[in-house]
């Protein structure tokens, strides 16, 4: 009789090396990203408990401003708001006279770009990056379904490293959960997908299903297909010729200062928690003071008459809440009405908010004025943007380096998968004989927000004319072309250019053919 495996937390599995502290850190960042800043035992999320003037305990909502989402959205936007272009080639194909080599690179490039579109990566990467910035990481995994290669996004709280004390994550467990009602009972099903390397170099994927009626527990292991859950998934798959994991892991730039030995990334929430809390406390206090500081008029009770049974009109609008009856006031006195106009400390709150917003901008690597109101108004040129937003530009560059690595790893993982005939129903893989070590991936991002493109193109053109910059580099830098595309364009230009007479210099040819020189 076998022993039934049961897990309370995912980290209870001996194969998972992610410590519970990392799990708690990611949960905190996820909660902040959702806008749930104030969490106290016994109280609903974002609820404040206080004493009123009678000493009674009261509760009110904690008025938050989701600055965590604002930061994540801003960084993701400056990185990918203009999209990106990907070109793929094989080592040795660039500039090759062999048409078959060039054709293979062109076909591979078309295949990859078609997959980036069909899988939704090109469309959804900015959104997924925004979700990853707060906890510090995300992952993606290509898979085959109905003979098509698709992509599954993996949140930071679904990804668990099986490696420890390494810079790269090469083995991982990926968790996904779904709920289903069986016999009028709600059950939770957790699929654990283990990606491991065996000693002989074989890549092994193990799938395990767990069932529980407690949302807080993983539950007991059950066979795949239980209650028609994950019935189309094999318990284990072994692949002998993989060179890299079947997933790509993205982590935000910067050192994991909370756990330097962890291979997992860290987001800005864990280093900015006190500032994020301070911003929300200031925001909540200002709203509460505004509500409590409304103008009030104290009047004797007899001055506020209620409508009688004959529906006679009252002296005051019944929907008015400015007037408050106070029995201590006497209508016969010289001043029976007392007006109270509390001063709201707008300037003090504004200065305090500006202080913490500046501190947040510095901590997350964004230029001053990104969230605060000190930014200069008016129209600015691209050159001014580069100067004024130098910190933002540097932060963007750091993120783009990580995004490029993530896309490169994901494309190579997909190309491995596309050659495994055993995973396709007809036994025919869409690609064959592609060595991913020979695959070169170039990612081009539009820098139009930060770079004066006209000025850059003009400077590059002068460099080409002076012979210190190649025409191929010019096309790659200013038009985002790959090596193959640049070579093809230059070949087309050469084919369309009349033959130069013998002994005639390039400058003379340009002049005689109407060139500017």
In tens, the pLDDT along 33-66 reads 999 998 877 788 899 888 876 678 888 899 999 9
- What is the model's pTM? 0.79
pLDDT digit string (tens) for 193-209? 999 999 999 999 999 99
Cα 300 to Cα 148, 284, 294, 316, 324: the distances in Å are 79, 34, 19, 13, 8
Instruction: Fill in the DSSP letter of residue 350.
Output: H
Q: What is the pLDDT of residue 115?
A: 96
Q: What distance in Å separates the CA atoms of residue 338 and residue 326, rounded to the nearest whole number?
A: 10
| List of residues 6+ apart from 395 with CB closer than 8 A | 75, 364, 365, 366
What angle is formed at CA 233 by the lines to CA 228 and CA 237, rounded to 5 degrees? 155
Confidence of residue 368 (pLDDT cuts 50, 70, 90): confident
Rounded to the nearest integer, the mean pLDDT of the chain is: 83
**Cβ 120 vs Cβ 153: under 8 Å:** no
Sequence ranges of the domains in the chain: 295-341, 452-517
- What burial letters (b/e) apply to 256-277, b meaning 16+ CB within 10 Å? beeeeebbbbbbbbbebeebbe
Greater pLDDT, 324 or 171: 171
CA nearest to 17, candidates 259, 233, 254, 183: 259
Q: What is the pLDDT of residue 292?
A: 75
pLDDT digit string (tens) for 127-169? 999 999 999 999 999 999 989 999 999 999 999 999 877 788 9
Confidence of residue 403 (pLDDT cuts 50, 70, 90): very high
Q: What is the pLDDT of residue 344?
A: 79
- The mean pLDDT value for 22-36 works out to 94
| List of residues 6+ apart from 285 with CB closer than 8 A | 349
Q: Residue 84's beta-bridge partner residues?
A: 445
Q: What is the pLDDT of residue 372?
A: 76
| List of residues 6+ apart from 290 with CB closer than 8 A | 344
Q: What is the pLDDT of residue 309?
A: 46
What angle is formed at CA 17 by the lines to CA 13 and CA 18, rounded to 5 degrees? 100
Q: Residue 299 pLDDT > 70, yes or no? A: no
Return phi, psi of residue 203, to 5°: -95, 125
Q: What is the pLDDT of residue 490?
A: 87
Q: Which long-range contacts (CB under 8 A, 24 or more apart) does 454-460 make?
A: 455/382, 455/383
């Amino acid at each position: 009789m076998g022993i039934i495996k049961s897990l309370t937390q995912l980290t209870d599995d001996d194969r998972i090396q992610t410590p519970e502290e990392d799990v708690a850190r990611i949960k905190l960042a996820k909660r902040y990203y959702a806008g749930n800043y104030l969490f106290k035992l016994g109280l609903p999320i974002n609820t404040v408990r206080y004493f009123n003037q009678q000493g009674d305990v009261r509760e009110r909502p904690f008025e938050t401003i989701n600055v965590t989402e604002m930061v994540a959205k801003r960084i993701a936007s400056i990185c990918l708001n203009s999209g990106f272009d990907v070109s793929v080639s094989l080592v040795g194909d660039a500039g090759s006279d062999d048409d078959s080599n060039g054709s293979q690179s062109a076909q591979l490039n078309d295949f990859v770009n078609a997959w980036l579109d069909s899988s939704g990566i090109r469309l959804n990467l900015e959104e997924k990056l925004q979700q990853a910035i707060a906890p510090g990481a995300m992952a993606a995994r290509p898979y085959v379904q109905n003979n098509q290669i698709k992509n599954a996004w993996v949140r930071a709280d679904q990804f668990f490293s099986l490696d420890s004390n390494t810079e790269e994550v090469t083995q991982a467990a990926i968790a996904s959960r779904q709920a289903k009602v069986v016999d009028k009972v709600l059950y939770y099903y957790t699929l654990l997908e283990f990606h491991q390397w065996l000693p002989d170099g074989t890549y092994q994927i193990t799938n395990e299903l767990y069932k529980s009626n407690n949302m807080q527990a993983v539950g007991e292991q059950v066979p795949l297909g239980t209650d028609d859950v994950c019935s189309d998934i094999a318990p284990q798959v072994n692949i002998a010729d993989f060179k890299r994991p079947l997933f790509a892991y993205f982590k935000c730039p910067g050192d994991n200062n909370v756990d330097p030995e962890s291979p997992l990334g860290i987001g800005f929430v864990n280093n900015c928690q006190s500032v994020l809390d301070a911003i929300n406390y200031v925001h909540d206090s200002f709203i509460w003071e505004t509500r409590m500081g409304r103008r009030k008029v104290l009047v004797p009770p007899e001055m506020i008459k209620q409508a009688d049974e004959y529906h006679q009109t009252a002296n005051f609008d019944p929907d008015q809440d400015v007037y408050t009856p106070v029995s201590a006031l006497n209508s016969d006195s010289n001043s029976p009405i007392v007006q109270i106009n509390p001063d709201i400390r707008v300037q003090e709150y504004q200065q305090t908010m500006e202080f913490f917003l500046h501190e947040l901008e510095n901590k997350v690597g964004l230029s001053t004025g990104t969230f605060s109101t000190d930014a200069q108004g008016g129209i600015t040129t691209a050159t001014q943007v580069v100067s004024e937003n130098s910190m933002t530009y540097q932060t963007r560059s750091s993120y783009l380096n990580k995004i490029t690595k993530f896309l490169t790893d994901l494309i190579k993982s997909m190309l491995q998968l596309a050659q495994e005939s055993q995973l396709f129903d007809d036994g025919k893989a869409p690609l064959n004989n592609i060595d991913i070590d020979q695959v070169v991936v170039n990612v081009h991002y539009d820098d139009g927000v930060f770079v004066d493109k006209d000025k850059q193109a003009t400077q590059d053109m002068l460099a080409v004319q002076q012979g210190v910059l190649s025409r191929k580099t010019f096309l790659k830098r200013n038009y985002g072309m790959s090596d193959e595309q640049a070579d093809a364009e230059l070949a087309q230009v050469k084919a369309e250019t009349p033959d130069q007479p013998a002994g005639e210099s390039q400058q003379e040819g340009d002049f005689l053919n109407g060139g500017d020189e």
